[in-house]
Amino acid sequence: MNAPIDVSFFARAAKPITSYRPYWAKRFGVAPFLPVSRAEMEQLGWDSCDIILVTGDAYVDHPSFGMAVVGRVLESQGFRVGIIAQPDWTSAEAFKALGKPNLFWGVTAGNMDSMINRYTADRKIRSDDAYTPGDVGGKRPDRAAIVYSQRCREAFKDVPIILGGIEGSLRRIAHYDYWSDKVRRSVVVDSKCDLLLYGNAERALVEVAHRIAAREPVEHITDVRGTAFVRRPGDPTADGWIEIDSSEVDAPGRIESHINPYMTTSEQAQSQGQSCAKEEGEGVAPTDTNPGIQTLKFMPNPALQGKGKLKVPPRDRTVIRLPSYEQVRSDAVLYAHANRVLHIEANPGNARALVQAHGEGATARDVWINPPPIPLTTAEMDHVFDLPYARSPHPAYADEHGKHDGATKIPAWEMIRFSVNIMRGCFGGCTFCSITEHEGRIIQSRSEESIIKEVEDIRDKVEGFTGVVSDLGGPTANMYRLGCKSPEIEAACRKPSCVYPGICSNLHTDHGPLIKIYRRARELRGIKKILIGSGLRYDLAVKSPEYVKELVQHHVGGYLKIAPEHTEGGPLSKMMKPGMGSYDKFKQLFEKFSEEAGKKQYLIPYFIAAHPGTSDEDMMNLAIWLKKNGFRADQVQTFYPSPMATATAMYHTGLNPLKGIHRDERGERVDIVRGDKRRRLHKAFLRYHDSNNWPLLREALKAMGRADLIGNGKHHLIPTFQPMTDGSYQSARRKNSTPVGKPSGGGQPVKGRMLTQHTGLPPRETGSAKRKPR
């Protein structure tokens, strides 16, 4: 049975993006690439652009790049769209290259938050940028969304600025900024944009574009879902809204109370702070034996009588007032409270608008955030992905041979060059991840026909294709067409995750449609192999052994990435990740089906160091598990506090927003890993096998009373001896981190040698080439 995607509440709740009357410029047709210069505009016969998009990424006309999707969607609506990619932000001159846009600027920092793109988890500047030709760093400014918006305003001050992208999504309210270690204002205020579109914004963007084209002032566009904007106090457009004050903790607003029918009227009066004198003087007959005893008077529940029931205000005209920027900046408890409210109000089916004050006195203004956008239907997803993408970088980036290799290679494009995005969204709710805040929990899936058509397009049109599709996936490999069994429950649910602490009984987990796509795709002429490169949700996969068999026997290229993230319950509960029991079940199925197929294949588990809620003992136990199971982690992921994530709120406040936020002992405190030394220690436990970490680990184990783990036996974690080391470690981000001069594992591993996650593994057996005889 397929998940009821196209009959859900969301499919019926919004105007289809394909139903608008095209703008008059549709007559110019489709551009091979959206123009990046005046010369290209002239070749297309354009005298101007209706919309100019500014992005921090190189322009790659591929549906995995947000700016290409936005540009092609607007083009399909009839608008002339130009792109300014990675402009020189030191002046406004580069922003004048295509002339003045007729309708508005569209601004984004790119596919990644610009600060995460430029800085490591240790706040060190990266030397590379996967979204830039040649992998060169420094081609975009810090906080690019703000800088680009300022330059657009300088270039043509009277043109509306529409801000979007993941940087805008994650910074739409006052947020903790890891790099400056303080709470910053909403990006709507700092960028001075006219409108922010958050999340996957095709639906909002199409509506806004047509309304601006119809000469509606942008300041009047305040009713579009998935948008945020600034309102001044007393703005008449806010009339008619019912405000719920949630600017303080433990005061969530009016709560409907039910009268206990077993309370006496005296007890009821006392509970309400009233006198019971009237009851004692009227209609009460104390007994002769005990004058203190009063007869019980049964009271009907007024809610059942149709009396006394408080009317809940309509959600579509209700706004929740969050604590102000000034409050959350100075009060960690209020910050955690605001973060909790924002995540509760995340379901498009029941979310209410949010408002947060910024500034006081003459500078006072409200940042108003409308409810999340209605997800795209399958037909709309097909429309977006079936648009005429060139599927390659713009020719301006090519070398003298017209190639995008070597010095002109764009690593992010190389990674997704032969991949297909089959869905959006994730209902996992992992607290450290930003997918939920951006794409939402509702899965938006393409049709089977649209996916197969894209695989055929890759086969027939993409230069360099060898017959291997690198991925059929999305944010998660195996959430395609999964969702709630009931449209009513789906629209009313306010849970942060459908799979934590266990898989919801209302969640539809049939992997049948995905299995069908895998089988059909690999049977296409010219397709040698379909690999699955997206992260797998293994706790869902074990619900469908048939899917695991299909995946393991046909779609694993030797290694399969999965992310348990940790082994211990403390940090897992703060991540909202399943326990290791699900990992063990999946591992058994993986090994069973690999053996049946006669293949040597390996799981590559990923783990996070220094996540909120992780103690030193937790990391030690994880290191023991790694050694026991024969893993050596080369690429180590240290917790990176991204804006607006729940785990980031934990990191900043020391409180757990997954629980109720209180000022007293009822609020749950979280162990936070702060400071370079402790973060290094947690990272060192993951890399227990690196001799450069042994001095730090010896010191820590002795302090923890676990000196028994220091020794030269197999059961010890680290040895007592210390070899000569240079104290350095080459990050695996750019190249393999195996020390120079040591083999990285070509051929079969040496007997007794431990396999690592990323080195030492045997070469992949894809079946596409035969081994040479020895």
Q: What is the DSSP string of 341-377?
A: HHHHTT-TTT--EEEEEES-GGG-EEEEEPPPPPPPP
User: Is residue 347 predicted with pLDDT exceeding 70?
Assistant: yes
pTM: predicted TM-score of the whole model, two decimal places? 0.86
Rg of the chain on CA atoms, in Å: 29
pLDDT in tens, 53-104: 999 999 999 999 999 999 999 999 999 999 999 999 999 999 999 999 999 9
**Residue of 350, 329, 670 whose CA lies nearest to 494:** 350
User: Is residue 405 predicted with pLDDT exceeding 90?
Assistant: no
What's the token pair of residue 51? 């919309």
Residue 280 C-alpha from the chain's centroid: 62
How far apart (Å, rounded) are the C-alpha atoms in residues 231 and 212?
A: 19
- pLDDT confidence band for 127 (50 / 70 / 90): very high
| Cβ–Cβ < 8 Å for 28, 45 | yes
**Residue of 334, 427, 360, 366 whose CA lies nearest to 652:** 334
How far apart (Å, rounded) are the C-alpha atoms in residues 381 and 425?
A: 12
pLDDT score at 313 = 78
Can you tell me the mean pLDDT for 475-491?
93
| Cβ–Cβ < 8 Å for 609, 683 | yes
pLDDT score at 634 = 73
Please list, residue by residue across 569-597, b when 16 or more beta carbons sit within 10 angstroms of its beta carbon and e when fewer do: ebbbbbbbbbbbebbebbbebbeebbeee
pLDDT score at 452 = 98
How far apart (Å, rounded) are the C-alpha atoms in residues 510 and 532?
A: 18
pLDDT score at 269 = 55
How far apart (Å, rounded) are the C-alpha atoms in residues 428 and 500?
A: 7
Can you tell me the mean pLDDT for 553-571?
93
How far apart (Å, rounded) are the C-alpha atoms in residues 317 and 329?
A: 28
User: Is residue 590 predicted with pLDDT exceeding 80?
Assistant: yes
* Residue 42 Ramachandran class (φ > 0 left, ψ -120 to 50 alpha, else beta): alpha
| Cβ–Cβ < 8 Å for 671, 613 | yes
User: Is residue 295 predicted with pLDDT exceeding 60?
Assistant: no
> Helix/strand/coil (H, E, C) string of 210-276?
HHHHCCCCHHHCCCCCCEEEEECCCCHHHCCCEEEECCCCCCCCCCCCCCCCCCCHHHHHHHCCCCC
Range ranked top by mean pLDDT from 627-631, 664-668, 724-728: 627-631
C-alpha neighbours within 13 Å on the C-beta side of residue 769: 8
**Residue of 349, 502, 494 whose CA lies nearest to 8:** 349
| Cβ–Cβ < 8 Å for 38, 97 | yes
pLDDT in tens, 383-394: 999 999 999 999
**Residue of 256, 254, 274, 257 whose CA lies nearest to 265:** 274
- pLDDT confidence band for 10 (50 / 70 / 90): low
Q: Name the DSSP class of 538.
A: H
Can you tell me the mean pLDDT for 649-663?
94
pLDDT in tens, 705-754: 999 999 999 999 999 999 887 655 444 444 433 343 344 334 444 444 44
pLDDT score at 300 = 57
Can you tell me the mean pLDDT for 447-456?
98
What's the token pair of residue 81? 């769209």
Q: What dihedral do alpha carbons 57, 58, 61, 64 form, nearest 10°? A: -40
User: Is residue 498 predicted with pLDDT exceeding 60?
Assistant: yes
The mean predicted confidence, pLDDT, of the chain is 87
CA angle 614, 616, 621 (to 5 degrees): 90
| % of the chain residues with pLDDT over 70 | 84
* Residue 464 Ramachandran class (φ > 0 left, ψ -120 to 50 alpha, else beta): left
Can you tell me the mean pLDDT for 392-417?
91
pLDDT score at 249 = 84
pLDDT score at 443 = 95
Q: Name the DSSP class of 668.
A: P
**Residue of 756, 429, 677 whose CA lies nearest to 572:** 429
Q: CA-CA distances (angstroms) from residue 297 to 147, 496, 560? A: 69, 43, 67
How far apart (Å, rounded) are the C-alpha atoms in residues 595 and 608?
A: 30
| % of the chain residues with pLDDT over 90 | 76
The residues, ordered by sequence, that sit 6+ positions from 532 with a Cβ below 8 Å of its Cβ are 471, 472, 473, 477, 551, 555, 556, 560
pLDDT score at 406 = 82
333-337, 583-587, 637-641, 658-662: least confident range: 658-662
More confident site: 136 or 738: 136
pLDDT score at 117 = 96
pLDDT score at 258 = 52
CA angle 629, 635, 638 (to 5 degrees): 100
Can you tell me the mean pLDDT for 555-576?
94
> Which residues sit opposite 214 in a β-bridge?
none
pLDDT in tens, 503-542: 999 999 999 999 999 999 999 999 999 999 999 999 999 9
18-22, 297-301, 410-414, 521-525: least confident range: 297-301
E-state strands within 461-617:
468-469, 471-473, 483-484, 507-508, 529-530, 559-565, 602-609
pLDDT in tens, 102-117: 999 999 999 999 999 9
> Which residues sit opposite 393 in a β-bridge?
60
DSSP string, 87-111: --TTSSGGGGTT---SSEEEE---S
Q: What dihedral do alpha carbons 676, 682, 688, 692 form, nearest 10°? A: 0
State the pairing for strand pair 444-445/559-565: unpaired
